[in-house]
């Protein structure tokens, strides 16, 4: 399915729609916080406006339901900002962004969302709920999470006693137990080690396949080619077909 470069009302059954989306930040330098200079500017009625940085520049596109979209581009190009807008966690400075259906946004690092004081079991339920699942559904999946993660008895130990690899196993397995209409992923979902990666590949592929619509940012062209049917290039806050 192709991306539509049109206003949202012109495309039936969209998964998400962005209409003239701008995201701008005010960049203040050190002199903006200098007390002496601030007082001097007040006395002379001089204004020093902050520099405006545009992270997204008038992006208009529609992603239809069922699309598998990749985002490519250099660091600082605006990919993460675009994903945050699509996920609804960042409000545009101008324009509108609408997502239809239940959204699962994976924008954090490999240990994002884990509470070190809670057990693996408690973290699995809590993380699933934060991602949009109900407590009862997470309890239904808890045995699968325990078995696939390979944590055994450690599943009921506090996460602060886990190695980094064990934490990644817990987070990976919990995340891939959740389903959503729209899946938004920044740089994939890391696994832990060679043995676990071998088992995780099939589970991850099924996780991506089960999502109604996928938007994935990655620096790896082979990943985008394998998982996506359309690729957008993001650079200097602008978006175009790759």
Task: Kindly report, residue by residue over 113-136, the tens digit of the pLDDT.
Answer: 799 999 999 999 999 999 889 999
User: Which string of DSSP letters, residue by residue, matches the chain?
Assistant: -PPB-S-GGGSSSEEEEEEEEEEEEEE--GGGG-HHHHHHHHHHT---PPEEEEEEEEEEEEEETT-EEEEE--TTSSHHHHHHHHHTSS--SEEEEEE-S-EEEE-S-TTTT--TTSBHHHHHHHHHHHTT--HHHHHHHHHHHHHHHT-GGGGGSBGGGS-HHHHHHHHHHHHTT---SEEEEES-----SHHHHHHHHHHHHHHHHHSSEEEEE-S-HHHHHHH-SEEEEEETTEEEE-
Contacts with 5 (C-beta within 8 Å, 6 or more apart), sequence order: 60, 61
pLDDT at residue 201, rounded to an integer: 85
pLDDT at residue 195, rounded to an integer: 74
* CA–CA gap between residue 45 and residue 41 (Å, rounded): 6
pLDDT for 162-177, tens place per residue? Answer: 998 899 899 999 999 9
pLDDT for 41-83, tens place per residue? Answer: 666 766 666 678 899 999 999 999 999 999 999 998 999 999 9
Q: What is the mean pLDDT of residues 137-158?
A: 97
109 or 98, greater pLDDT: 98
Tokens of 211: 């999502």
230 or 41, greater pLDDT: 230
* CA–CA gap between residue 98 and residue 86 (Å, rounded): 7
Q: Are 42 and 126 in contact (CB under 8 A)?
A: no
Q: Within 13 A of 1's CA, how many CA atoms are on the CB side?
A: 18
Look at residue 110 and tell me whether its pLDDT is greater than 70: no
pLDDT at residue 2, rounded to an integer: 63
State the pTM of this model: 0.78
């Amino acid at each position: 399915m192709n991306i539509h470069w049109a206003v949202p009302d012109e495309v039936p059954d969209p998964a998400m729609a962005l209409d003239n989306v701008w995201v701008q930040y005010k960049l203040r330098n050190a002199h903006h916080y200098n007390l002496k200079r601030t007082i001097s500017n007040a006395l002379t009625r001089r204004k020093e406006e902050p520099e405006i940085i545009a992270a997204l520049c008038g992006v208009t596109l529609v992603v239809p339901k069922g699309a598998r979209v990749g985002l490519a581009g250099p660091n600082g190009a605006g990919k993460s900002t675009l994903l945050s807008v699509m996920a609804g966690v960042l409000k545009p400075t101008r324009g509108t962004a609408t997502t239809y259906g239940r959204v699962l946004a994976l924008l954090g690092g490999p240990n994002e969302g884990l509470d070190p004081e809670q057990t693996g079991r408690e973290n699995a339920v809590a993380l699933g709920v934060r991602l949009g699942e109900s407590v009862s559904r997470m309890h239904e999946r808890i045995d699968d999470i325990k078995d696939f993660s390979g944590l055994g008895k450690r599943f009921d130990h506090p996460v602060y006693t886990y190695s980094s690899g064990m934490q990644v196993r817990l987070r990976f397995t919990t995340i891939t137990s959740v389903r959503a209409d729209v899946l938004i992923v920044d740089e994939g979902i890391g696994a832990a080690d060679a043995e676990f990666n071998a088992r995780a590949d099939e589970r991850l592929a099924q996780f991506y396949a089960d999502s109604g619509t996928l938007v994935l940012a990655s620096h790896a062209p082979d990943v985008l080619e394998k998982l996506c049917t359309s690729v957008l290039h993001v650079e200097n806050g602008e978006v175009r077909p790759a």
